[in-house]
């Protein structure tokens, strides 16, 4: 019976869903959404905060600041609340409403940028704002998930060994790519393993993480509007790019079976399904990583109006979609929050 006194002390790391009946090929999904932060980002957040504490960078009057599309922000909010730090999250208008409210409920401040950067994303604008904050007051501490080695080391230490333990005959691992922390931690671990594992990175169309044309992306978590500084492509065997419409279809296909996952899980599962169908070998042992669950996406991926507005009526054709029709009730964003 686990008994904890800090929220980050609990993280379910050994839950896999057998998706064979959903994707028509054996595929095991490692579920990372069962912790108090609700996502895989708890691991990176923990590692980065602990290493900043060890290095003496975080002091009692520090204000942690980070650019996040949401999940790292929630994880840092939780850890900051538990340890008594202040936290300011710089995010953008794609951040889900519930994610923003979660951060605020945990006592954090949230600043939302609205101007696109030169690659059609928000990352450049977010980082510019973080830099301006850090220049304005030295109490701000930027953990910088995009460059912090703790981000990938967390997965090298935990995520990859958890997969290895349960799948000693693993052939292929599908990993969605945002900062590339999960990807690089797992790829580095399996490079040294007892048998070769094919590392397949899954990205969204419109992301420039692996090159390619920038384009509109509405689903947070996966994809980047810059090359991830942590990425070393020599560890990646293949890259699959998934259209957001396919992400949505995969999410709804799983929801029809009672598994409500987040957007990046839909992206990874869609990419893995396509890859497994192409390779056609039912004996391949394949694992994909599901970074979070679906509740944070009820007003986007699982909401009719949002889907129709962004992807057109056709997205709702076919019988695999399960949506709610609600009037969006998004409170107006508040004015920039600065700390102190």
Among 73, 121, 271, 291, indicate the residue that binds ligand PLP (CB under 6 A): 291
Q: Does 222 bind ligand PLP (CB under 6 A)?
A: yes
Residue nearest to ligand PLP (CB): 221
Residue 162 as a binder of ligand PLP (CB under 6 A): the answer is no
225 binds ligand PLP (CB under 6 A): no
Is 31 near ligand PLP (CB under 6 A)?
no
Provide the minimum distance between the beta carbon of 78 and ligand PLP in the complex, in angstroms, as a whole number. 14
Distances (CA, A) of 40 to 26, 169, 305: 23, 24, 28
Identify residues 163-182 at the interface with ligand PLP (CB under 6 A).
176-182
Task: Measure the CA–CA gap between 52 and 143, rounded to whole angstroms.
Answer: 8
- CA dihedral for 45, 51, 54, 58, sign (positive or negative): negative
* Distance in Å, CB of 192 to ligand PLP, minimum: 20
3-state secondary structure 251-284: HHHHHCCCCCECHHHHHHHHHHHHHHHHHCCCCC
User: Which pair of tokens denotes residue 167?
Assistant: 């799948």
Sign (positive or negative) of CA dihedral 3, 8, 9, 11: positive
Residue 144 binding ligand PLP, by CB under 6 A: no
Q: How far is CA 90 from CA 70, 71, 103, 116, 141, in A?
A: 9, 12, 11, 14, 13
User: Could you tell me how many residues of this chain bind ligand PLP (CB under 6 A)?
Assistant: 19
Q: Which is nearer to ligand PLP, 212 or 318 (CB)?
A: 212
Q: How far is the CB of 221 from ligand PLP (least distance, A)?
A: 3
Q: Kindly list the residues in this chain that would bind ligand PLP in the complex (CB under 6 A).
A: 39-41, 71-72, 176-183, 221-222, 262, 264, 291-292
């Amino acid at each position: 019976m686990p008994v904890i006194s800090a929220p980050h002390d609990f993280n379910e790391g050994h839950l896999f869903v057998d998706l064979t009946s959903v994707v028509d090929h054996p595929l095991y999904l490692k579920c990372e959404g069962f912790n108090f932060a609700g996502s895989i980002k708890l691991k990176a957040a923990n590692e980065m905060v602990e290493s900043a504490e060890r290095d003496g960078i975080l002091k009692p009057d520090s204000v942690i600041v980070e650019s996040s599309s949401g999940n790292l922000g929630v994880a840092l909010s939780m850890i900051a609340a538990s340890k008594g730090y202040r936290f300011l999250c710089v995010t953008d208008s794609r951040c889900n409403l519930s994610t923003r409210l979660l951060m605020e409920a945990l006592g954090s401040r949230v600043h939302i940028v609205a101007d696109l950067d030169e690659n059609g994303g928000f990352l450049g604008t977010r980082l510019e704002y973080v830099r301006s904050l850090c220049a304005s007051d030295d109490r701000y501490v930027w953990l910088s998930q995009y460059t912090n080695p703790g981000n990938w080391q967390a997965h090298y230490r935990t995520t990859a060994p958890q997969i290895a333990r349960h799948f000693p005959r693993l052939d292929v691992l599908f990993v969605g790519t945002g900062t590339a922390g999960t990807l690089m931690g797992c790829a580095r671990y399996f490079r040294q393993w007892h048998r070769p594992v094919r590392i397949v990175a899954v990205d969204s169309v419109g992301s420039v993480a692996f090159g390619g044309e920038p384009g509109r992306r509405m689903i947070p978590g996966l994809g980047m509007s810059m090359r991830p500084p942590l990425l070393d492509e020599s560890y990646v065997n293949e890259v699959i790019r998934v259209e957001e419409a396919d992400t949505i279809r995969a999410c709804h296909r799983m929801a029809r079976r009672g598994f409500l996952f987040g957007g990046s899980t839909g992206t990874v599962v869609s990419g893995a399904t396509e890859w497994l169908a192409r390779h056609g070998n039912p004996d391949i042992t394949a694992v994909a990583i599901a970074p979070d669950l679906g509740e944070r996406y009820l007003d986007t991926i699982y909401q009719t109006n949002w889907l129709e507005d962004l992807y057109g009526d056709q997205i709702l054709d076919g019988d695999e979609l399960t949506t709610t029709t609600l009037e969006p009730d998004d409170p107006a964003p508040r004015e920039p929050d600065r700390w102190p």
